[in-house]
């Protein structure tokens, strides 16, 4: 696919265009010289990303099933985590995909709605699973203020051109004290490790991923936006269909879970996907 590309300033601090950091084919990750954020620059325009996401998720029934199996352990862990704070309420899943997390939460007694940019995934969630899903992006839906008890986003924030605007919107539509749960990849440490052995890699999944958040950066953004009581977790691991990927996911996932537990929930294994939970504060 041909992408219309644009050069941008750092999506977090807007202070620099970034210094070259990593190349994958013709795509370049850069590092902001001011806040150190890692982002794709130049990056596809919003219009070409919208077209790209119409083809991003699989379409055949078998692939959708594999997708569900892959994500299930992470969805279960997230649902159990939310249960520690709220038994039910109104939940929004942003980037709901086929709707499997929404279905899980609906089964658990939540009033669950989604937002999804891919028309095919949205059709599946609506027509096959009978869920309420709005066409994305989130900012266009215009939910009321103080509306949701929980907002979730699984592997969404790294795809967004304006992650800060997204967090601001989550803050606005959450009730005070409402929960935000985000799941995101954290690729840079593994990439650096492979680089140090001279191993070429395409771990960033470019140009789908527009940035790579670290737990520190995500906490900084959340707190800057008025979220409180940030908690970081490993939050389980996916089970991809591909045997090699599955083995790596189980190996690193269980190792990082074990180390997290043994460290009294302090050590976050670098390079594996992570979950962050935060609460909307009373300030707006």
What residues make contact with Zn ion under the rule CB under 5 A? 10, 12-13, 32, 34-35, 37
**In angstroms, what is the minimal distance from the CB of 32 to Zn ion?**
3
Indicate the residue among 43 and 106 with the shorter CB distance to Zn ion: 43
Contact by Cβ (8 Å): 202, 148 = no
**In angstroms, what is the minimal distance from the CB of 261 to Zn ion?**
34
DSSP 8-state assignment for residue 188: H
**In angstroms, what is the minimal distance from the CB of 15 to Zn ion?**
5
Indicate the residue among 188 and 275 with the shorter CB distance to Zn ion: 188
Which own/partner pairs from 101-107 qualify as long-range (CB within 8 Å, at least 24 positions apart)? Answer: 101/71, 101/75, 101/152, 101/154, 102/129, 102/131, 102/133, 103/129, 103/131, 104/75, 104/76, 104/79, 105/79, 106/131
DSSP 8-state assignment for residue 157: G
Indicate the residue among 10 and 117 with the shorter CB distance to Zn ion: 10
Indicate the residue among 10 and 225 with the shorter CB distance to Zn ion: 10
d(CA 181, CA 242): 27
d(CA 24, CA 118): 25
**In angstroms, what is the minimal distance from the CB of 42 to Zn ion?**
16
**In angstroms, what is the minimal distance from the CB of 166 to Zn ion?**
16
Indicate the residue among 20 and 130 with the shorter CB distance to Zn ion: 20
């Amino acid at each position: 696919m041909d992408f219309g590309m644009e050069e941008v300033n750092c999506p977090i601090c807007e202070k620099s265009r970034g210094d070259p950091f990593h190349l994958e084919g013709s795509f370049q990750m850069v590092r902001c010289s001011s806040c150190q954020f890692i982002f794709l620059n130049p990056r596809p325009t919003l219009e070409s990303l919208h077209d790209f996401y119409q083809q991003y998720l699989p379409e055949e029934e078998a692939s959708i099933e594999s997708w569900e199996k892959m994500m299930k352990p992470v969805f279960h862990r997230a649902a159990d985590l939310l249960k520690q704070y709220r038994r039910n309420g109104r939940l929004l899943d942003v980037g709901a995909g086929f709707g499997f997390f929404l279905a899980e939460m609906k089964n658990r007694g939540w009033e669950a709605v989604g937002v999804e940019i891919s028309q095919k995934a949205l059709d599946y969630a609506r027509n096959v699973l009978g869920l309420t899903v709005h066409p994305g992006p989130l900012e266009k839906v215009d939910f009321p203020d103080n509306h949701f008890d929980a907002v979730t986003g699984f592997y969404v924030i790294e795809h967004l051109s304006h992650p800060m605007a997204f967090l601001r919107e989550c803050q606005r539509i959450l009730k005070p004290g409402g929960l935000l749960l985000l799941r995101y990849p954290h690729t840079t440490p593994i990439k650096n490790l492979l680089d140090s052995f001279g191993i070429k890699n395409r771990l960033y999944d470019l140009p789908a991923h527009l940035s790579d958040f670290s737990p520190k950066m995500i906490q900084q953004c959340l707190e800057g936006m008025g979220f409180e009581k940030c908690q970081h977790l490993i939050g389980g691991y996916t089970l991809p269909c591909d045997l090699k990927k599955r083995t790596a996911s189980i190996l690193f996932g269980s190792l990082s879970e074990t180390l997290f537990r043994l460290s009294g929930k302090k050590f976050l294994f670098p390079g594996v996907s992570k979950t962050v939970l935060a609460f909307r504060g009373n300030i707006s």
